[in-house]
Amino acid sequence: MKKIMVMILAIILFLSLIPVSSACTIKQVFENIVISSGIEEDTNEPLNENIEFEASAEHIYATIKFTGVKGGDNWRFKWTNLDTGEIVLDKEDQYNKDQEERYVEGIVETDIFPLDTSSLIPAGDYKVEFYNNGELVKTTTFKVNKPEVSIIEVLLANQVDQNFVPVSITQEFKSNETVYACVQVNYQTAGNFLKAQWKSSVDELIWEDSIELAEFSSPSYITFWFPPETESITAGSYKVEIYLNDILYGSFDFEVTEEVAEATVTFDQGNEYSATDFGFTITLPDNWTYEENKTEQEDIVTILPPYQDTPVWLQFSAVDPELYVPFGDFADNDSAGFAEQQDWTFVEKIESDSTLQNGAPCKEYSYLFTDDDNINWIMGYGFAENNGTLYILIVITDKINSSMAIDAYVGILNSLIFG
């Protein structure tokens, strides 16, 4: 009788523990991801919930409300631009580092925003994923609309930097200068285009060019130039009309005179670099800078123009000639390797012989390339030998700044003095 009672009591006790244990189990709950333009500062509660935003939005937030997770558990938000495949934000953290073993509840958030006050959030369809301890638990989508492209300003200049930003703004040009019409737009989106019509003072159309916009979420310059490479420009009054999607934005007048512009590169200040241990002296262009890298075997001088963003680069080297013979093979391989790094396409090679002002023969090679934006690039090599040392001058420039680059190249080579 006692044994039976003990078994009954044991069964009753076991059964009574089941609901008690179940009642103490904490259930994890994750509500849906909420996309909004704001949150409460203290609670992270979303404000102005939305799934469609303008690119000018200052913030876009993703929040999720949770209960029943341990403070030491990990959460992760992953934002993806579905149009480009780019992961624009991937952030993870613990729910509450100060209460790692306790169950907590609350709201976690992440947000995206423009990089600076002049930028916009890139347009497109977005996906936001939320992970708990590495497991995907919630997903949602939203959209950022493409903004309307507008022109901020149009400036005329006779010099631009590598980003086509005007460096020297003017409305008066010499007959051998290039006229750049620099159009700044607030945003670039595919399907929009700019057009420039260059006209005489009697409204005769001389040249027309158009450029399709790409995808770019910050203000940028689109630059047209005149005259085209196959044409020349004579003295007179001109204007350029700028159109956005065939709608006239404005007309901009400029004058051209027959006077020849002063050289963009001068050598009047005696800016010399000398290396007696390698047997040479060269003169550098006025106001240009250089960096030296010298070892027992070679002396390499990198020479840069005064404008920091100008895509012009020169390098003068004094080296052992045995490492660079034959010169043509070295120039071919060096230029091809650099072009491959830049994704340039080879167009043309020119080989020539010249004589420097010091009487030394010089072997020269030049290479023309084009990039994905149809911008032309030039690489030039000059080789001269003296007393068992090879002297090499290399120049790299885009076509826009080629006149300045070539003036510097020729001036440095002709300044070379042995001894």
- The domain containing residue 407 runs over which residues? 272-418
Model pLDDT, residue 324: 92
Which of 145, 173, 205 is the endpoint of a domain?
145
Confidence of residue 263 (pLDDT cuts 50, 70, 90): low
CA-to-CA distance for 337 and 219, rounded, in angstroms?
33
Residue-wise pLDDT tens digits, 159-209: 888 788 898 899 999 887 889 999 999 888 888 999 999 999 899 999 999
CA-to-CA distance for 379 and 138, rounded, in angstroms?
54
Which of 114, 145, 176 is the endpoint of a domain?
145
Confidence of residue 332 (pLDDT cuts 50, 70, 90): very high
278 & 413 share domain: yes
Name the least confident of 18-32, 249-263, 286-300. Answer: 18-32
Q: For position 326, which CATH number holds?
A: 3.40.1000.10
Model pLDDT, residue 14: 31
Decide if pLDDT at 105 tops 90. Answer: yes
Section 372-398 average pLDDT: 93
Name the least confident of 65-69, 229-233, 245-249, 273-277. Answer: 229-233
Query: Which residue(s) pair with 349 in the sheet?
Result: 367
278 & 237 share domain: no
Number of domains in the chain: 3
279 & 413 share domain: yes
Decide if pLDDT at 45 tops 60. Answer: yes
User: How far is residue 23 CA from its own chain's centroid?
Assistant: 58
Query: Which residue(s) pair with 379 in the sheet?
Result: 367, 396
Model pLDDT, residue 1: 35
Type of residue numbered 141: T
221 & 285 share domain: no
Q: Is residue 14 part of a domain?
A: no
Q: Is residue 38 part of a domain?
A: yes
Mean per-residue pLDDT of the chain: 89
Q: Is residue 7 part of a domain?
A: no
Percent of the chain residues past pLDDT 70, beyond the cut: 91
Decide if pLDDT at 248 tops 70. Answer: yes
119 & 66 share domain: yes
Residue 40 burial by Cβ neighbours in a 10 Å radius (0-12, 13-18, 19+): exposed
Model pLDDT, residue 260: 60
279 & 311 share domain: yes
Model pLDDT, residue 230: 56
Q: How many residues are listed for the chain in this entry?
A: 419
Decide if pLDDT at 15 tops 70. Answer: no
Number of neighbouring beta carbons within 10 Å of residue 71: 16
Residues 6+ apart with CB under 8 A from 89: 77, 78, 79, 110, 112
Q: Is residue 346 part of a domain?
A: yes
Q: Is residue 297 part of a domain?
A: yes
Q: Is residue 192 part of a domain?
A: yes
CA-to-CA distance for 182 and 139, rounded, in angstroms?
44
CA-to-CA distance for 129 and 133, rounded, in angstroms?
13
171 & 207 share domain: yes
281 & 407 share domain: yes
Q: For position 73, which CATH number holds?
A: 2.60.40.10
48 & 122 share domain: yes
157 & 136 share domain: no
Q: Is residue 264 part of a domain?
A: no
Closest CA to 360 of 385, 380, 390, 388: 385
67 & 168 share domain: no
> Which own/partner pairs from 128-131 qualify as long-range (CB within 8 Å, at least 24 positions apart)?
128/33, 128/35, 128/62, 128/77, 128/78, 128/79, 128/80, 129/77, 129/78, 129/80, 130/30, 130/33, 130/62, 130/64, 130/75, 130/76, 130/77, 130/78, 131/74, 131/75, 131/76, 131/77, 131/78, 131/92
Q: Is residue 178 part of a domain?
A: yes
Which of 98, 119, 145 is the endpoint of a domain?
145
Confidence of residue 108 (pLDDT cuts 50, 70, 90): very high
182 & 228 share domain: yes
Model pLDDT, residue 217: 78
